[in-house]
Chains A and B, each alone.
Chain A
Amino acid sequence: MTGSSDIAVEALDLAKHYTMGQSIVRALDGVSLRVAPREFVGLLGTSGSGKSTLLNLIGGLDRPTGGVLTVFGQDLARMTREELSLHRRRNVGMIFQAFNLIPTMTALENVALAMMFAGVTRRERNTRARDLLAQVGLGERLAHRPKELSGGEQQRVSIARALANNPSILLADEPTGNLDSRTARDILGLLRALNTGDGRTVILVTHDAALAAACVDRSVTLLDGRIVTEATA
């Protein structure tokens, strides 16, 4: 964790424009936001409001077309492709709505894969993957493939995978979108525990304001690529 800075994520007049056919789509249009370390921030908004785009920019999956975006003082817009992949590997852990586990790999292999890219030895990978899966409550299901796991279990595997390289920021994009409400509450509880227990910064994207209200420190609502309201819980 690179927690020395007192700002985890800072966006200044951040923009992401792209052309679709003849028209310019302003997915993000001048967003300024500051997230402190250990903060749990919810990004709210309807579909197409730009909340996922913002999350992808922070995660280094995409590049902004304007403004400044720094994560622990590092300017993501200036990074090369290789530096961006290092950022994804070391600084952030991504959790998706569709889980995005590799279907042919077991739970253990899915978690270990993330460490493979970091050059961790096989023995160390397996030990750590086992510990992480136990931590998310799947200590007994290591050898199961995604198909053999329930939605909640799959999301737990994906959270364990996000923690594999011990990132300081967790980015969750509609993690409960495919889950029933009881399971959704469990998953959010897990994220909250990782936030308060381990001291990780969590940024949660969701369209469900009620669900978010139960766990976030602060919620930020976007509409048409701009921040419309900010509320502290």
Chain B
Amino acid sequence: MRFADTLALALRNLRESVLRTVLTALGVSIGVASLVGMVSFGVALQDQVMGSFLRSGVFNSITVSAAQTMPGRGRGRAGGPRLPNFPPPARQAAGDRPKLDDDAVTKFNAIANVVDAYPEVRVPVEIKFGTFSEFSGARGVPMSARDEGVFQDLPHGRFFDNDTDDVCLISMELAGRLSDGAPGDLVGKSLSLGFISAAAAAQALQAGAAPEGGPAGLNIQRAERPFRIGGIVSRPSGPGPGAAMLAAVMIPIAKAREMGGADLANPQALLRQMADRRTYATVTVKVRRPQDTQEVEKQITDMGFSAFSVADLMQNQKKAFILLDLLLGLVGSIALSVASLGIVNTMVMSILERTREIGVMKAIGAGDGDVRRIFLIEAALIGLAGGVFGIALGWAVGRAINAGANFYLARQGAPAANLFLIPWWLVAGGIGFAVAVGLVAGGFPASRAAKLDPIQALRHD
């Protein structure tokens, strides 16, 4: 028997009892809708919590610091939080401890799946704008931060076009103090950054002067450079890792290194900078995908550095969300399992009504398989109709609840949130699952129909 004919017979059976078919399919669609609703709620919740982290780029970044081999330090890190993947204290003696310098940064960049590696550079500066003057730190920002965290979407202006122009980004707080209510007008204007060149500061130290008193009392070389304000960066709305690179003034990292990231509060570092080569407190390594962090971290720790990533901490959170999705799916599938009993009931009724017809079909040559397939397809079609309608229903109900919830959130002054997300895999999965439920529910009645004795069936009224 051809599949198209089997399908046609099944459709004909369904058409003959439209009301029963529609009611059964409606039961399935309520089941699918509740399942889809629950899972999409879980997906949206996960997106709300994890999505902001993922988009901030914090999952793809590893923070590298020089290996901690302080003398006298015990193995246990009493008191402090136990962070995973911190290597045990390196075996190396202080002499051959690898330095976190430009060579190391180059090596990190060469590791597979590393997108970018850049040191943390802060330049102490005096910000001058008209009569305004304030001491602060200018943060070096790499070009690769363009698509991450707070730099993704600037309220005014735009990210650096290149790392050679004297352009800076300023924080919304600073912009607020520089302007009178119209921070956007600052874009395009220039401010000047006063700084101390590293060489000058180191010379001052070598002369025996203590830097703790600040540069005010020292006769040191000062430099000043005008920077055009390219854009304004606002703090992320929630507590997030996007703020990591936020500072009052942000300049391209190449500029910051040129100006010398000398930290006057750390004379040791200043001296080191002078004595041999410049080293950094931390280097940030960006990897291609969050999955790559572990492998890259391992390679870095093998070089003798300490490495740490947030992805490690989020593993448990991910597991929790998978469990939550499972739980929600389980609750949602209760309705679907009830609906599957509805399919069984409908099919048993349908077969009872058609017993004589089944007998006739067998008498004129239908095989057991033909009969089984007709009823299996009938049940699967009920599942399919229920699945398609259920997805639509779930979507509509989700939209409605979302609208209601956002109305409430708006009245509470909270930002709007998307509480229901129906990704394509949930659509396909929901429909596929409904069809599968139909096939399973139809299996028993269909095989009963297939096994009917033709003579008994023909005698049936």
B1 and A117 form a contact (CB under 8 A): yes
Q: Is A21 located at the chain interface by the 8 A CB criterion?
A: no
Task: List which A58-93 residues lie within 8 A (CB) of chain B.
Answer: 59, 61-62, 81-82, 85-86, 88-90
Chain B, 363-402, contact with A by CB distance < 8 Å: what is the 0/1 string?
A: 1111111100000000000000000000000000000000
Q: Is B223 located at the chain interface by the 8 A CB criterion?
A: no
CB distance from A77 to the nearest CB of B (A): 16
Q: Give complex CA distance A94, B363 in Å.
A: 7
Considering the complex, give the chain B residue whose CB is closest to the CB of A112. B5
Which B residues touch A101, using CB under 8 A? Answer: 360
Which A residues touch B286, using CB under 8 A? Answer: none
Q: Give complex CA distance A113, B1 in Å.
A: 10
CB distance from A83 to the nearest CB of B (A): 10
Q: Is B255 located at the chain interface by the 8 A CB criterion?
A: no
Q: Specify which of B5, B360, B369 is in contact with A100 (CB 8 Å cutoff).
A: B360
CB distance from A76 to the nearest CB of B (A): 14
B455 and A85 form a contact (CB under 8 A): no
Q: Is B16 located at the chain interface by the 8 A CB criterion?
A: yes
Q: Is A104 located at the chain interface by the 8 A CB criterion?
A: yes
Q: Specify which of A61, A90, A117, A161 is in contact with B370 (CB 8 Å cutoff).
A: A117
Which A residues touch B361, using CB under 8 A? Answer: 113, 117
Which B residues touch A88, using CB under 8 A? Answer: 362-365
B364 and A89 form a contact (CB under 8 A): yes
Considering the complex, give the chain A residue whose CB is closest to the CB of B369. A82
Q: Specify which of B356, B363, B365, B368 is in contact with A118 (CB 8 Å cutoff).
A: B365
B364 and A114 form a contact (CB under 8 A): yes
Q: Give complex CA distance A116, B359 in Å.
A: 16
Q: Is A1 located at the chain interface by the 8 A CB criterion?
A: no
Q: Is B2 located at the chain interface by the 8 A CB criterion?
A: yes
Which B residues touch A59, using CB under 8 A? Answer: 363
Q: Is A96 located at the chain interface by the 8 A CB criterion?
A: yes
Q: Is B357 located at the chain interface by the 8 A CB criterion?
A: yes
A116 and B362 form a contact (CB under 8 A): no
Q: Is A195 located at the chain interface by the 8 A CB criterion?
A: no
A102 and B357 form a contact (CB under 8 A): yes
Q: Give complex CA distance A89, B1 in Å.
A: 12
B357 and A86 form a contact (CB under 8 A): no
Q: Specify which of A62, A90, A104, A121 is in contact with B365 (CB 8 Å cutoff).
A: A90
Q: Specify which of A82, A100, A121, A161 is in contact with B368 (CB 8 Å cutoff).
A: A82
Task: List which A165-188 residues lie within 8 A (CB) of chain B.
Answer: 165
Known interface pairs A85-B362, A102-B357, A104-B16; A117-B367 also in contact (CB < 8 Å): yes
Known interface pairs A102-B360, A119-B1; A56-B455 also in contact (CB < 8 Å): yes
Q: Is B458 located at the chain interface by the 8 A CB criterion?
A: yes
Q: Is B454 located at the chain interface by the 8 A CB criterion?
A: yes
Q: Specify which of B1, B366, B454 is in contact with A61 (CB 8 Å cutoff).
A: B454
Chain A, 7-28, contact with B by CB distance < 8 Å: what is the 0/1 string?
A: 0000000000000000000000
Q: Give complex CA distance A61, B455 in Å.
A: 6
CB distance from A3 to the nearest CB of B (A): 19
Q: Specify which of B4, B12, B366, B455 is in contact with A117 (CB 8 Å cutoff).
A: B366
Which B residues touch A85, using CB under 8 A? Answer: 362, 365-368
Which A residues touch B454, using CB under 8 A? Answer: 61-62
Chain B, 254-280, contact with A by CB distance < 8 Å: what is the 0/1 string?
A: 000000000000000000000000000
Q: Give complex CA distance A88, B362 in Å.
A: 8
Which A residues touch B365, using CB under 8 A? Answer: 85-86, 88-90, 114, 117-118, 165
Considering the complex, give the chain A residue whose CB is closest to the CB of B5. A116
Considering the complex, give the chain A residue whose CB is closest to the CB of B4. A122
Known interface pairs A102-B357, A116-B1; A94-B455 also in contact (CB < 8 Å): no
Q: Specify which of A62, A86, A94 is in contact with B367 (CB 8 Å cutoff).
A: A86
Which B residues touch A162, using CB under 8 A? Answer: 364
CB distance from A33 to the nearest CB of B (A): 20
CB distance from A78 to the nearest CB of B (A): 17
Which A residues touch B16, using CB under 8 A? Answer: 104
Known interface pairs A102-B357, A116-B1, A117-B370; A62-B455 also in contact (CB < 8 Å): yes
Q: Which of B2, B361, B365 has the most CB of A within 10 A?
A: B365
B364 and A161 form a contact (CB under 8 A): yes
Q: Specify which of A82, A100, A104, A121 is in contact with B363 (CB 8 Å cutoff).
A: A100
Q: Give complex CA distance A132, B366 in Å.
A: 20
Which B residues touch A62, using CB under 8 A? Answer: 454-455
Chain A, 205-233, contact with B by CB distance < 8 Å: what is the 0/1 string?
A: 00000000000000000000000000000
Considering the complex, give the chain B residue whose CB is closest to the CB of A125. B5
B364 and A81 form a contact (CB under 8 A): no
Chain B, 6-41, contact with A by CB distance < 8 Å: what is the 0/1 string?
A: 000100100010000000000000000000000000
Which B residues touch A86, using CB under 8 A? Answer: 365, 367
Q: Give complex CA distance A88, B363 in Å.
A: 6
Which A residues touch B12, using CB under 8 A? Answer: 104
Q: Give complex CA distance A85, B365 in Å.
A: 5
CB distance from B18 to the nearest CB of A (A): 13
Which B residues touch A96, using CB under 8 A? Answer: 363, 458
CB distance from B10 to the nearest CB of A (A): 12
Which B residues touch A102, using CB under 8 A? Answer: 357, 360
CB distance from A53 to the nearest CB of B (A): 9
B458 and A100 form a contact (CB under 8 A): yes
CB distance from B411 to the nearest CB of A (A): 58
Which B residues touch A113, using CB under 8 A? Answer: 361, 364
CB distance from A1 to the nearest CB of B (A): 16
Listed by A's residue number, 27 A-B pairs whose Cβ atoms lie within 8 Å are A61-B362, A61-B455, A61-B458, A62-B454, A62-B455, A81-B368, A85-B365, A85-B367, A86-B365, A86-B367, A88-B362, A88-B363, A88-B364, A94-B363, A94-B364, A96-B363, A101-B360, A102-B360, A104-B16, A113-B361, A116-B2, A117-B1, A117-B365, A119-B1, A119-B2, A122-B5, A164-B364
Given contacts A61-B363, A82-B367, A162-B364, 14 further A-B contacts (CB under 8 A): A61-B362, A81-B367, A82-B369, A88-B363, A89-B367, A100-B458, A104-B16, A113-B361, A113-B364, A114-B364, A116-B2, A119-B2, A121-B2, A165-B365
Binding site for B on A (CB under 8 A): 56, 59, 61-62, 81-82, 85-86, 88-90, 94, 96, 100-102, 104, 113-114, 116-119, 121-122, 161-162, 164-165
**In the complex, the 5 A-B pairs of residues with the closest C-beta atoms, listed nearest first:** A89-B365, A85-B367, A114-B364, A117-B365, A117-B366
